[in-house]
Structure 1
Amino acid sequence: MATKEATQRRSSRIRRQIKAVSNGRPRLSVHRTSKNIYVQVIDDAKGHTIAAASTLEKDFKAGKKTGADTAAAAAVGKLVAERAVKAGVKEVVFDRGAYIYHGRVKALAEAAREAGLSF
């Protein structure tokens, strides 16, 4: 079982690597819980969120049973990619946080790539 300190250490290590290779690109940040998934496109230079999506949105909840499966993660990935492209962002760096690139995180990333984001 991972402790809070280990999770924070892992997350900060990933964030440090991302900042080294970002070249001014916005960050696609993922947060996953046992029931939902949240994603934001963040411009770290300005400290602003460009686009965001989650499984808690009203129009999303109407069509899905749960927010805790890969289908829901893929739908959120597609939604955030469409919003980011509409805002003028096509290239991002992927910040998976302390989560491994597998399951819902992977489904979200692949759906975002298919919807037009490049990372």
Structure 2
Amino acid sequence: MGLSKTERRQRIRRRIRKVSSGTAERPRLAVFRSNSEIYAQIIDDVAGTTLVAASSRDKALADAKGTKTEVANLVGKAIADKAKQAGIEAVAFDRGGNLYHGRVKSLAEGAREAGLKF
């Protein structure tokens, strides 16, 4: 019997995390996607701290209308704006085991449009 969907995602997630690690110079942009919401954090793995976070549940984005993909794009722009204010220009992208498609791709494109470099 094959792997379940969650087991497969966890296996991919562990494989990605072996390679990508966030430093102070180039922190990691981690994305978590649930059925209804999307969350993004910029993490310094060396210090073990979250530098910046944004999600679709933030007060500024909670009343945003549109599809989940459009809201994900707004979250990407919000995380990029917060990162610029914190002095972060380049990040390593961690899709968290999800396919680079749909809401995850939309978040990444929104962050790129706002000036964050991957």
Aligned length: 116
1:17 pairs, out of 1, 7, 19, with 19
- Judge conservation of contact 1:30–1:105 (CA < 8 Å) in 2: yes
- Unpaired runs of 5+ residues, structure 2, are none
- Deviation digits for residues 7-49 of structure 1 (CA, Å, limit 9, x no counterpart): 2211010111213x97951000000011000000001111111
Name the CA distance, whole Å, in 1 between partners of 2:58 and 2:113.
22
Percent identity reads: 48
Superposition TM-score, scaled by structure 1 size: 0.88
- Give the deviation of 1:4 after TM superposition: 3.5
Name the CA distance, whole Å, in 2 between partners of 1:27 and 1:91.
9
- Deviation digits for residues 25-81 of structure 1 (CA, Å, limit 9, x no counterpart): 100000001100000000111111111000111221123256xx1100000000000
Name the CA distance, whole Å, in 2 between partners of 1:109 and 1:52.
14
Q: Hey, what does 2:76 align to over in structure 1?
A: 77
- Deviation digits for residues 57-106 of structure 1 (CA, Å, limit 9, x no counterpart): 1221123256xx11000000000000011000001000001101001100
- Unpaired runs of 5+ residues, structure 1, are none
Q: How does 1:1-119 map to 2 (within 5 A)?
A: 2-19=4-21, 25-64=26-65, 69-119=68-118
Superposition TM-score, scaled by structure 2 size: 0.89
Name the CA distance, whole Å, in 1 between partners of 2:4 and 2:116.
31
Q: Which amino acid aligns with 1:98?
A: G
**Relative to structure 1, is the Cα distance of residues 7 and 63 closer, same or farther in structure 2, using a 3 angstrom cutoff?**
closer
Q: Which amino acid aligns with 1:105?
A: V
